[in-house]
A and B are shown apart, each in its own frame.
Chain A
Amino acid sequence: MLAFLPLYQQAILSLAAMILFTSFVLLAQNGVLAIIHVFAWQGLLVAVTTAFVAFDSGAGHLYFSALMTITLKVIFIPWLLHRLVRRLGIDRETHSVERPARVLMSAAALVVFCYYVAQPIQQYSAALTRNTIAISMSVVMLGMLMLITRRKAVSQVIGFMSLENGLFFAAVSATHGMPMFVELGIAFDVLVAAVIFGVFFFHIRDSIDSLDVGQLNRLAERDE
C-alpha cells in the first residue's frame, strides 16, 4: 500500500520511522556523549522531514522552521551540552540504564498505546501525515519515559529536549506548523530553557557534588 504513495511521501514516512527509532536509541544509550550525539541526529531527522513536508505541501514557512530546528537542536543545544559536559569533567561518564529490558518493553507498549489514542484523530488528517501524528505522540511519550527512568541531570535534559522534538514534529505533521510568531515564541522558550538548564548543572554540582538528581530528595513528604 505504501508503494502507491508518491516518492516524497514514502520518504517522509521512512524518516518518521527513523525519528521514532532514535527515541528508542536515546532510551537505551549509556554514554553521555553518545546520548548528545543521538539527540543531534534526531534533530537533524526532524529538520529534514520538515523540509520534505514543506516541499510536498508547498508551505513555504516550513523551510524556515527546518532551518531554525537545525540551528537550535542540531547545532546550538548539542554544542552547549558538549561544552558543559567537558567543563564539568563528566564526558567519560556512563549513565547506565536501570532495567533496560523493562524500559524498552514499556516504550514499545507506549507506542502501541499512542497509535490507539491517535486512531480517531487520524481519520481527519491528510493521507500524507496519517501515521506521523501517532509517531510524534510516541516521541513525546518516550521523552517523558526517559525523564522518568534517568537519574542524571544531563540525560534528563536530553529527555526533555527530545520531548520538545516530538512536539515540533507533531505541529509539522498534523498542521504544517503553527503560525509563525507562535513558532518563534516556542523556539525562544526552548533556547532560554537550554541556557537555564546549563546554569542549573553548575548549581546542582555545587550543591551535591554530582549531577545525580536522584540525590535531590530532601523535600519529599515522608514519615519521620
Chain B
Amino acid sequence: MTALWFTLLIPFSSSVLLGLFGQHPAARRFNFQAAAAAFAASVWLAWTVLQNGPIGGSSDSAGSQFYIDSFNVYLIVLTAFVGASTALFSQPYMARELAAGHVTEKRLRLYHASYQGFLFTMQLALSTNNLGVLWVAMEGATLATVLLVSLYRTPQAIEAAWKYFIICGVGIALALFGTVLLYFAAAQVIPDPEQALLWSELARHSAELKPVVLAIAFVFLLVGYGTKVGLVPMHSWLPDAHSEGPTPMSAVLSGLLLNVALYALVRLKILTDGSLAAHPDAHDPHLAGYLMMGFGLLSFIVAGLFLHRQRDIKRLYSYSSIEHMGLMTFAFGLGGPLATFAALLHMTVHSLTKSAIFITVGHAAHIAGTQAMSNIRGLIRTQPAVGWGLLIGTVAISGFPPFGVFVSEFLLLTATIHSQPWFALPLLLGLGIAFAGLFRHLHPIVYGEQPEGQEGVAVNMWPVAVHLVLVLWLGLAIPGFLAHWFDQATILISGQGVL
C-alpha cells in the first residue's frame, strides 16, 4: 500500500511544485527526477504484488478504493517507465524549443506541471477500484493535456486543442452516462451505495446485474472510452492533437493515454460479459465482444488506408497508433485466451515502440526544421543514430520478427484463424496496407538525398535504445514474471489461461 501511495503522490506533488516554481531552470531536470522516482516506486509496487498477490479490493473501507491485480500492475510500471524515459528526452528537446523561441519560460512551467499532472491522472485511472474515480481521472487527463496541445499557440495548435477538448469532452461525457447506468444496475444488487461502483464488488456480483441495463451501459461506455482509445469514427481528434502538440506529449499520449482508455474499456467488458453470460436469453452473450471486434477492425483498416495519404510525419505515426489500438480492441473483442494474451502483450510492445518512434521523430523534425515529410530527407547520412532509430522503430512497429510486435500479431492471427477464420483475411490485408503505408514514406526520409547544409543536432538516444531493446527482448523471450501476469490477466478476462 505504501508503494502505491508513492506511485500516486510523487507525480501529484511534483505537478503542484512545478506549477509553483516551474520557471526555475532546474525544473526541467526535476521533471525527469520526479518521473524516475515515480518509476522506482512503481517497481517497488510491482515487487510487492509479485510477492503478496493483489493489493486492495477488500471489503473494508480503507483498502477498497484501490485495486492492483495482474492486469493493471504491469500497466502501472509501463506508464511510469514511459513517463520517465520521455521526461529524459523532453529535457534537451524543450531546451531547444526554448532557445528557438517556440515557447517561453512561463509556458514551460505550464508544460511541466501538466506533464506530471497527466502522469498522475494515468496512474490514478489505472490503480483505482472505483469506476467513478476512473472516469474523473480520464477526464482529468484530457484537462491536463489540452493546454499542452495548444502550447505553441499557432492557429493549427489552437484548432487541434479545441477539437481535442470538444470531442474527448463529449466522448467522456457519454462514458459518464454509461457509468451512471452501471451504478443504477449495481444499486439493485449491492445495497451499500459506497460499494456499488467498486469494480471488485461489481465483478463479484456481475452475474446478478440486469443484462438489459448493462448492454445499454456498455454501448455508452464503448463510445465514450472508445473516443479516447481513438477508435474510428471517433478518432478525428487524435492525429491533430498528436501532430500539433510538443513531441514529448505525442509520445506519452500515444504510449499511455490510449492504453489506459483501452484498459478501462476491458475492465467494463469483463462486467458486461459476466452479466450477459448469466442471462443468455436477454442478449447475445458476446454482444460486447462483437461490438469491440467491429469497431476495432474498422479502425484498423481505415487508419491503415489513411497512412498512405499523410504529409506530416507525426500525423503518419498517429494514424499508426489508431491502427494498432484498433488491432488490440479487435483482439480483446475476439476473446479467448490466446487473443487476450496477444492483446495484453501488444499493449506493452506498442506502447514501448511508439513512444520510442515519437522521440526519434522529434529529433528528426529538429534536424530538418519541419514536420513535413517531403522536406525530411537522408537522415541516415546526416545523423546515423536518428536514421537507424527511426528505421528500426518502424520495422518493429510494422510487425517484423524478431520484435515483440511480431509475436503479438502472430498470436492474434493464430487465434483468429482458430476461432473466426474469415477475419484472418482483412487482418492480413490490413497489416500489408499499413506496412506499405509506413515504408513508402519512410524510405526517402531515411535513405533519400540529404539537403545541403543539413546538420545533426545534439540528441539523447538512450530512451529510444532502451525501449527498442526491451521490445526485442519481449520478441525473443518474455520474462517469467511478466508471462505470469499476462496469464493471470488472461484468466481474469477470458476465463482460462494459455500457459
Q: Which positions in A face B, CB cutoff 8 Å?
A: 117, 120-121, 124-125, 137, 140, 144, 147, 153, 156, 160, 163-164, 167, 170-171, 174-175, 178-179, 181-182, 185-186, 188-189, 192-193, 196-197, 199-200, 203-204, 206-208, 213, 216-219, 221
**CB <8 Å contact, B180 and A213:** no
**CB <8 Å contact, B180 and A175:** yes
**CB <8 Å contact, A199 and B177:** no
Taken together as a complex, chains A and B put the C-alpha atoms of A221 and B170 apart, in Å, by 21
Q: Which residues of A contact B193 (CB under 8 A)?
A: 179
**CB <8 Å contact, A218 and B159:** yes
Q: Which residues of A contact B373 (CB under 8 A)?
A: none
Q: Which residues of B contact A153 (CB under 8 A)?
A: 162
Shortest Cβ gap from B200 to chain A (Å): 15
Segment touching A, from B41-49, B140-148, B452-460: B140-148
Taken together as a complex, chains A and B put the C-alpha atoms of A140 and B337 apart, in Å, by 38
Identify which of residues 159-195 in chain B touch chain A, using a CB-to-CB cut-off of 8 Å: 159-163, 165-166, 169-170, 173-174, 176-177, 180-181, 183-185, 187-188, 193-194
Taken together as a complex, chains A and B put the C-alpha atoms of A144 and B143 apart, in Å, by 19
Taken together as a complex, chains A and B put the C-alpha atoms of A209 and B193 apart, in Å, by 50
Using A179-B193, A219-B159 as known contacts, say yes or no to A121 and B180 having CB atoms under 8 A apart: no
**CB <8 Å contact, B173 and A163:** yes
**CB <8 Å contact, A117 and B136:** no
* Interface majority SS (helix, strand, loop, mixed), chain A: helix
Q: Flag whether B101 is at the interface (Cβ < 8 A).
A: no
Q: Which residues of B contact A124 (CB under 8 A)?
A: 184-185, 188, 210, 213
Taken together as a complex, chains A and B put the C-alpha atoms of A164 and B184 apart, in Å, by 18
Segment touching A, from B149-157, B355-363, B408-416: B149-157
Using A179-B197, A185-B133, A221-B306 as known contacts, say yes or no to A140 and B173 having CB atoms under 8 A apart: yes
- CB nearest neighbor in A for B147: A196
**CB <8 Å contact, A219 and B176:** no
**CB <8 Å contact, A204 and B169:** no
Q: Flag whether B294 is at the interface (Cβ < 8 A).
A: no
Q: Flag whether B323 is at the interface (Cβ < 8 A).
A: no
28 example contacts (A-B, Cβ-Cβ < 8 A) are as follows: A120-B216, A121-B212, A124-B185, A124-B210, A140-B173, A156-B166, A160-B166, A160-B169, A163-B170, A171-B183, A174-B183, A178-B180, A179-B197, A181-B133, A182-B133, A182-B135, A185-B133, A186-B132, A186-B135, A186-B176, A193-B169, A196-B146, A196-B147, A200-B158, A207-B153, A207-B158, A219-B156, A219-B243
Per CB-CB distance, the 3 closest pairs between chain A and chain B, nearest first, are: A182-B132, A185-B136, A216-B159
Q: Which residues of B contact A216 (CB under 8 A)?
A: 155, 158-159, 162-163
- 15 extra interchain contacts, Cβ-Cβ under 8 A, other than A182-B130, A196-B147? A121-B216, A124-B184, A125-B184, A147-B166, A147-B170, A171-B180, A174-B181, A186-B136, A196-B143, A200-B162, A207-B154, A216-B162, A218-B156, A219-B244, A221-B309
Q: Flag whether B69 is at the interface (Cβ < 8 A).
A: no
Taken together as a complex, chains A and B put the C-alpha atoms of A54 and B446 apart, in Å, by 66
**CB <8 Å contact, B147 and A219:** no
Most buried by B among A174, A179, A185, A216: A179
Taken together as a complex, chains A and B put the C-alpha atoms of A216 and B165 apart, in Å, by 14
Taken together as a complex, chains A and B put the C-alpha atoms of A164 and B147 apart, in Å, by 21
Q: Which residues of A contact B487 (CB under 8 A)?
A: none
Taken together as a complex, chains A and B put the C-alpha atoms of A164 and B244 apart, in Å, by 28
Number of interface residues of B (CB under 8 A): 50
Shortest Cβ gap from A57 to chain B (Å): 12
Shortest Cβ gap from B216 to chain A (Å): 6
- A-B pairs under 8 A by CB, number: 127
Q: Flag whether B273 is at the interface (Cβ < 8 A).
A: no
Using A147-B166, A216-B158 as known contacts, say yes or no to A189 and B184 having CB atoms under 8 A apart: no
Q: Which residues of A contact B159 (CB under 8 A)?
A: 207, 216-219
Taken together as a complex, chains A and B put the C-alpha atoms of A218 and B159 apart, in Å, by 8
- CB nearest neighbor in A for B172: A189
**CB <8 Å contact, A204 and B143:** no
- CB nearest neighbor in B for A123: B212
Q: Which residues of B contact A178 (CB under 8 A)?
A: 132, 180, 183, 197
Shortest Cβ gap from A224 to chain B (Å): 9
**CB <8 Å contact, A117 and B216:** yes
**CB <8 Å contact, B180 and A203:** no
**CB <8 Å contact, A219 and B184:** no
**CB <8 Å contact, B161 and A200:** yes
Using A204-B158, A219-B159 as known contacts, say yes or no to A170 and B177 having CB atoms under 8 A apart: yes
- CB nearest neighbor in A for B160: A219
Shortest Cβ gap from B233 to chain A (Å): 12
Taken together as a complex, chains A and B put the C-alpha atoms of A137 and B177 apart, in Å, by 8
The residue from A160, A174, A179, A203 contacting B150, defined by CB atoms under 8 A apart? A203
Taken together as a complex, chains A and B put the C-alpha atoms of A196 and B165 apart, in Å, by 10
- CB nearest neighbor in A for B194: A179
Taken together as a complex, chains A and B put the C-alpha atoms of A196 and B156 apart, in Å, by 18
Q: Which residues of A contact B243 (CB under 8 A)?
A: 219
- CB nearest neighbor in A for B187: A175
Taken together as a complex, chains A and B put the C-alpha atoms of A200 and B149 apart, in Å, by 12
Q: Which residues of A contact B309 (CB under 8 A)?
A: 221
**CB <8 Å contact, B184 and A121:** yes
Q: Which residues of B contact A189 (CB under 8 A)?
A: 136, 139-140, 143
Shortest Cβ gap from B178 to chain A (Å): 10
Shortest Cβ gap from A176 to chain B (Å): 8
Q: Which residues of B contact A185 (CB under 8 A)?
A: 132-133, 136
Taken together as a complex, chains A and B put the C-alpha atoms of A213 and B164 apart, in Å, by 13
Most buried by A among B132, B197, B240: B132
Q: Which residues of A contact B162 (CB under 8 A)?
A: 153, 200, 204, 213, 216
- CB nearest neighbor in A for B195: A179
Q: Which residues of B contact A203 (CB under 8 A)?
A: 150, 153, 158, 161
Taken together as a complex, chains A and B put the C-alpha atoms of A193 and B166 apart, in Å, by 10
**CB <8 Å contact, B177 and A182:** no
Taken together as a complex, chains A and B put the C-alpha atoms of A113 and B173 apart, in Å, by 19
Q: Which residues of A contact B133 (CB under 8 A)?
A: 181-182, 185
Q: Which residues of B contact A181 (CB under 8 A)?
A: 133
Shortest Cβ gap from A199 to chain B (Å): 7
Most buried by A among B162, B180, B188, B309: B180
Q: Which residues of B contact A206 (CB under 8 A)?
A: 153
- CB nearest neighbor in B for A164: B173
- CB nearest neighbor in A for B282: A120
Taken together as a complex, chains A and B put the C-alpha atoms of A125 and B156 apart, in Å, by 47
